[in-house]
Amino acid sequence: MALVFFFIGVQKMVSQDSTSVAKPSAKDFGLMIGASHVQLWADSDPYYLASTQQNVTMEGKAKNGLSIGMFYNFAVHPKWMIRPTLEAHIANTQVVYDTGSDYDEKYSVFPITIETPIALVYGINQRGTIESRGWRGTGLMLAARPIIPVSIFNSSHPVTKPFSMNVDFGLTIPSALRKTIMRTELFASINVMSIQGKSKEDDFRTQMIQDLKRHFIGLRLYFN
CATH code of 188's domain: 2.40.160
How many domains would you assign to the chain? 1
Give the list of residues 6+ apart from residue 21 with CB closer than 8 angstroms, or none.
none
Q: Is residue 205 domain-resident?
A: yes
Query: What integer pLDDT is reported at residue 54 of this predicted model?
Result: 84
Q: Is residue 8 domain-resident?
A: yes
Q: Is residue 57 domain-resident?
A: no
Q: Is residue 158 domain-resident?
A: yes
Q: For residues 74 and 121, is the Cβ–Cβ distance under 8 A? A: no
pLDDT along the chain (224 residues), means of 10: 43 43 64 98 90 87 97 92 97 93 91 98 80 74 98 94 97 88 95 91 90 97 95
* Beta pairing partners, 40: 214
Q: Is residue 174 domain-resident?
A: yes
Q: Is residue 214 domain-resident?
A: yes
Q: For residues 69 and 112, is the Cβ–Cβ distance under 8 A? A: no
How many other C-beta atoms can be found within 10 angstroms of the C-beta atom of residue 111?
19
Q: Is residue 50 domain-resident?
A: no
Query: What integer pLDDT is reported at residue 96 of this predicted model?
Result: 96
Q: Residue 128: give the domain boundaries.
A: 2-14+29-45+63-90+112-223
Helix ranges (H only) for 115-216 are: 127-133, 204-207
Q: What is the pTM of this model?
A: 0.84
* Beta pairing partners, 59: 96
Q: Is residue 19 domain-resident?
A: no
